[in-house]
Amino acid sequence: MSKSIKLAILGLGTVGTGVINLINDNLGELKRRSGRDIIITEVGTRRQRDDIDASIIQNDDLMAIAASDNVDIVIEVIGGTTLAKDVIMHAIKHGKHVVTANKALLAEHGNEIFALAEANNVHVAYEAAVAGGIPIIKVMREALAANKVDWLAGIINGTGNFIMSEMRDTGRPFVDVLAEAQALGYAEADPTFDVEGIDAAHKLALLASIAFGIPLQFDKVYCEGITGITLQDVNYAEELGYRIKHVGFAVRRTNDKGKEGIELRVHPTLIPQNTLLANVNGVKNAVLVNSHPLGQTLYYGDGAGAGATASAVMADVMDLVRVLGSNDPSLTGQQGHHVPHLSFLPELLSDTPILRAEQMITGYYLRVHAYDNPGVLADITRILSDAGINIDAILQKPAHKVGQVPIIILTLPVIESQMNLAIAKIEKLDSVTDKVVRIRLDELA
Amino acid sequence: MSKSIKLAILGLGTVGTGVINLINDNLGELKRRSGRDIIITEVGTRRQRDDIDASIIQNDDLMAIAASDNVDIVIEVIGGTTLAKDVIMHAIKHGKHVVTANKALLAEHGNEIFALAEANNVHVAYEAAVAGGIPIIKVMREALAANKVDWLAGIINGTGNFIMSEMRDTGRPFVDVLAEAQALGYAEADPTFDVEGIDAAHKLALLASIAFGIPLQFDKVYCEGITGITLQDVNYAEELGYRIKHVGFAVRRTNDKGKEGIELRVHPTLIPQNTLLANVNGVKNAVLVNSHPLGQTLYYGDGAGAGATASAVMADVMDLVRVLGSNDPSLTGQQGHHVPHLSFLPELLSDTPILRAEQMITGYYLRVHAYDNPGVLADITRILSDAGINIDAILQKPAHKVGQVPIIILTLPVIESQMNLAIAKIEKLDSVTDKVVRIRLDELA
C-alpha cells in the first residue's frame, strides 16, 4: 500500500454517517480493490459527535476543511444550494477533488461548478446525485459512451413512485398515501419537491446533459407532479393495460427539416403494464435508456437511503483513487485526459434547443365527462380526427352521475399544441360537463 | 483533436461488422465524448472484403496486425480459444491494449492473459464478454467498487432464456422451441454450449471473479442445462407463483466456523413470478446483484447481437481513449494505477474455496410420482422432516396415470447433501413409482 487517500466528509446526516459506516464495514474490500488505504481525516459537523473515531478531526468550519492540506477528496453531503456551493467552489480552488450527492446544486449551478473544476484540473463527481445507488451516471457517461442516446425514461423520485404504487395496490387516494409516506419517512413534512416533480426535474436535467451533450438547463424542464392523480384514473389505466407512473423523459427529436430539439419533461405517464418500468414499485428507482446501437437497457435499484447513497459516493471516491492515483501522486492537478463532467467535452457541448411544452410529442389518456346524449361520442372523435389525432382505444363507462358518462380515450402520439386546441374544442361541446382530464401516455417502444 | 486512436479489428463477422457500423454511425458522438479521432487502420479477415473503406488495410495475417506499429488497440472478435489466444498474447507482448468479447477464452485462460497484460502494462478489456450490451463488467468493477457483494443471480444466456420464455408462453415442449430458436438464428446448429449451460458458466466465472476477488475458476462451476425441463414442471411452477428460468448464481457463504466459501452454479431455477428477473423474457439478459450496503440492483438489456456487442466493445475502447489518453500519449505502457482486470489487485485475490455441489444451499421444487395410497404423503414428509428439510408448499395433483398422483413439494433452502439423502430414501418407498424430479428454487430475497 502506497500513499493513503485522505477524505473529508462535510455533513454527518444520514448520508455522511452512511459513508462512515460503509468505510468501516468494507475497508478490506476497498483496499483489495484500490491498493490504497482510504482514511477519513476530517468531518464537518456543527455539533461535536462522540460516536466518531477519535482520530478524525471534527470541525464546524467547512471552508477550513475544504482548504485543508490534510484532505485529498472533499465529500459534500450537507445539501442545499448556498453553503454547499460556497464550500465546493472553495474546495475546487484549493485543488481538491469533490464528490457530491447534491442534485439541486448541480442541476442549478453545475455549469459554473464544472467550469471551475476544469480550470483547476480537478473532478467533481456526482454519481449519488441521480437515482441513489443505481450507477446511472457512470453508465451514461462511460458504459454508453459509444452510443447515440435517442431517449431515456426514468422513475427517479422514490417518494412519488411509492405514492403511485400504493394508490394502485391499496386503492387509497393521494392524500392518504402521502400521509403514510410522511409517517414512514419517505416524504418530507413539506413534500413539494417530491410530489410536484421538482426533485425529478433536477435529476432529469443532469441525465439529459450527459445523454445528449448539452449544458445543464434545469429551468427548461417541463414539470408536472402527481397531486392531481385520482384513483379513478389509476383504475381506468389498469383496465386498459397501463399503469400510471411519475416518469422523467429526455427525448431527442428531429423535425421535418432535420433540425434537432430535445424534450425535457417530468409528468405522470401511462406506461404499458407488461414493461419492466411499470413493475418498479415502492421507493425503488429505475432508468430505461434507448440508444443506438445498443437498444433498450434498464438500470434498477434503491434511489435513496444511507446505504445506497453511500455506495454511490464511495464509487466516485474509488474512481478518483484508482484512475488518478499513481499518475498523480498528490491526487490533485495534472490528471489530464479523463471522462468529462458532462460526458462530452465542455467545448463540444451542443446548443440543441430544449423544446417548449407545446412542441412536445406524446400519446394521451383523456377522460371526458359528458351527458349521455346520442352523438356526443361522434362529436368528440370528429374533433380529434380533424386535429389529426389518432385514437388508439376508447372506453365508455357506465354513468356515475345521473345522465353523465365518463369517456376514456387513448391517443397515439401527437404534438401538444394540437392536443391543446382539440381539448379546448371538446370542452366547448354542450354535452361535455367538466374539464377534460389529460395524462400523457408512452408505449416505451 | 490531438492524436488519433488507431484500432485494429480482428474478425469481420457479426460483431466486427457491428463495430465498423457503430463507428460510422456515431463518429460525431465518439469525438464529442473523447476529444479524439478514432479510426480503424487495419482489419483481420480471411477473405478480401469490398464493402470496407479503402483506407483500411485488410490482412489475413492476424499476428502481423497484433504487432503492427499502425495500431493502438486490438479488438479481438474472432472467437474460439486457440488462434484468439495466440493473437491476444502476441498483441499484449507488443504493448497493445486489447478489447475482446471472448468469454470462453477469458473464462478458461483469463488468469494467464491478465497476468501477461499486467506484466506488459497494458489493459485487456472485456465488457462484451458477459451479457452483451449490458455494462455489467463496468458496473461490478467500478460502480460497485465500494460494496461487498453477497450474491448475484443472472439470466446470462439469451438462447436459454428464449426457450424457457417460449415454453411457458406457448405451451410447446423444449424440442419444438429449440428448433424455432435455431430457425431464428438464436441457437447454433449444435446448441450444446447454450442449452447445457456452458456459455452461462463461462460468464458466471467472470462475474464471480470480479464480484468476490477470486481467480477465474471456470472448471469449478456447477453446470446444469435446460434440456430436461418439461412443460409439466413449467406449469406446476406457474401454479405455485414461480417461473422457471436458467440462472447463474454466485453466492458468498460463511459456515458455522466463520469460514467463507463460494457457490458457483448455473441451473434451471424457480424464481418468484413477481420479481423483475422472472419478467426478463425472450433473448434478453439481466443480472441482479445483492451487495452491501447498496442492496439489490438489476441491469437489463440485450445480451447478444451486433449492436449490443459493438456497444460494449466500443465502451471499452472509449475507456482506454479517455482515461489513458493524455497521461500516456503513445497509449501504451506506464499507465500506472487503474482498475485491475479482475477488479481486485492481482496480488490480493483471495483463495476462498469454491464449494462442491453437495455443499451448496438452495430451496427445491420436487415432483414425486406415487401410487395414491393412504400414508404416502406422510411417508414423504416424514423423510424430509427427519433430514431437517422444511416444506414451504405442497400441491397434490389429480392422477394422470391410473392410481398414480404427482406430488409437488417446495422446500426452504437446504444443503444439497441432505437433499440427496432424502431423495434417495423417497425413491426407495414402495409407493413411489419414478425418479424424483428436482429443480432448484430461489426467492431472490
pLDDT digits (tens, 9 = 90+) for B200-245: 999 999 999 999 999 999 999 999 999 999 999 999 999 999 999 9
How many Å apart are CA A155 and CA A132, to the nearest integer? 12
Last residue of a domain, one of B299, B316, B333: B299
Q: Does the residue B437 lie in any domain?
A: yes
Helix (H/G/I), strand (E/B), else coil: A65 = helix
- DSSP-assigned letter for residue B143: I
Distance from the Cα of B7 to chain A's closest Cα (Å) equals 14
Backbone angles phi, psi at B64, to 5 degrees: -65, -40
Residue A330 has pLDDT above 60, yes or no: no
Find the CATH number of the domain harbouring B400: 3.30.70.260
Distance from the Cα of B287 to chain A's closest Cα (Å) equals 10
Same domain, A182 and A220: yes
B293 vs A25, A139, A318: nearest CB: A25
How many Å apart are CA B3 and CA A323, to the nearest integer? 21
Give the pLDDT of residue A325.
53
**A167, A171, A175, A179: CA torsion to nearest 10:** -80
The pLDDT tens digits for B364-391 are: 999 999 998 888 999 999 999 999 999 9
What is the average pLDDT score of chain B? Answer: 93
A300 vs B297, B317, B348: nearest CB: B297
Same domain, A147 and A280: yes
Q: Which residues of B touch A274 (CB under 8 A)?
A: 279
Label the pairing between strands A57-59 and A38-44. Answer: parallel
Instruction: Give, in order, the Cα–Cα distances in Å from A272 to each of A238, A243, A248.
Output: 9, 6, 16
ipTM attached to this prediction: 0.93
Helix (H/G/I), strand (E/B), else coil: B369 = strand
Q: Residue B301, annotated ligand binder?
A: no
Q: Does the residue B23 lie in any domain?
A: yes
Percentage of chain A beyond pLDDT 90 is 86
The pLDDT tens digits for B297-348 are: 999 999 999 999 999 999 999 999 886 554 443 433 334 457 888 988 888 9
Same domain, A122 and A168: no
Q: Do A134 and B22 touch (CB under 8 A)?
A: no
Per the annotation, binding residues of A are 10-17, 103, 188
Q: Does the residue A100 lie in any domain?
A: yes
Q: Which residues of A touch B325 (CB under 8 A)?
A: 336-337
The pLDDT tens digits for A250-278 are: 999 998 898 999 999 999 999 999 999 99
In A303-445, where do the E strands start and end?
A: 361-371, 391-396, 404-415, 437-441
CB-defined contacts A:B, below 8 A: 234
Same domain, A88 and A25: yes
Same domain, B249 and B294: yes
**And the C-alpha cell for B91?**
498483441
From A6, A85, A96, A203, active-site residue: A203
Per the annotation, binding residues of A for NADPH are 103
Q: Which residues of B touch A306 (CB under 8 A)?
A: 293
Find the CATH number of the domain harbouring A93: 3.40.50.720
Same domain, B143 and B59: no
Same domain, A285 and A314: no
A203 is catalytic: yes
Is A247:A263 a contact under the CB 8 Å cutoff? no
Q: Which residues of B touch A310 (CB under 8 A)?
A: 146, 293
Q: How confident is the model at residue B429 (pLDDT cuts 50, 70, 90)?
A: very high
Give the pLDDT of residue A372.
84
Omega within 30 of 0 (cis) for the link into B293: yes
H or E element at residue B177: helix B174-183
How many Å apart are CA B28 and CA B172, to the nearest integer? 47
Q: Which residues of B touch A324 (CB under 8 A)?
A: 337
Q: Residue B15, annotated ligand binder?
A: yes
Same domain, A110 and A174: no
How many Å apart are CA A153 and CA B411, to the nearest integer? 39
Comparing CA positions, the residue from B246, B238, B71, B275 lying closest to residue B162 is B246
Same domain, A397 and A384: yes
**And the C-alpha cell for B273?**
413470478
A308 vs B279, B295, B327: nearest CB: B295
Residue B276 has pLDDT above 60, yes or no: yes
- Name residues whose C-beta falls within 8 Å of residue A64's C-beta, 6 or more positions apart in sequence: none
- DSSP-assigned letter for residue A207: H
Give the pLDDT of residue B324.
58
**And the C-alpha cell for B289?**
446483484
Nearest residue on chain A to B294, judged by CA atoms? A308
Q: Does the residue A28 lie in any domain?
A: yes
**And the C-alpha cell for B3?**
492524436
Between residues B96 and A404, the one the model is more confident about: B96
From B6, B203, B245, B284, active-site residue: B203
Q: Does the residue B352 lie in any domain?
A: no
**Secondary structure (DSSP) of B218-269:** GGG-EE--STT--HHHHHHHHHTTEEEEEEEEEEEEE-TTS-EEEEEEEEEE
Residue B6, amino acid: K
Give the pLDDT of residue A332.
35
Comparing CA positions, the residue from A50, A46, A45, A44 lying closest to residue A67 is A44
Number of domains in chain A: 3
Q: Do B135 and A145 touch (CB under 8 A)?
A: no
Find the CATH number of the domain harbouring B277: 3.30.360.10
Same domain, B179 and B129: no
Same domain, A17 and A117: yes
**And the C-alpha cell for B161?**
432464456
Same domain, B43 and B148: no
Q: Does the residue A333 lie in any domain?
A: no
Q: Does the residue B371 lie in any domain?
A: yes
B322 vs A33, A280, A337: nearest CB: A337
**Counting beta carbons within 10 angstroms of the beta carbon of residue B302, is it exposed (0 to 12), middle (13 to 18) or buried (19 or more)?**
buried
Q: Do A295 and B301 touch (CB under 8 A)?
A: yes
Q: How far apart are the first and last CA of chain B?
A: 50
Residue B401 has pLDDT above 80, yes or no: no
Tell me which residue range forms the domain holding B222: 136-299
Q: Does the residue B354 lie in any domain?
A: no
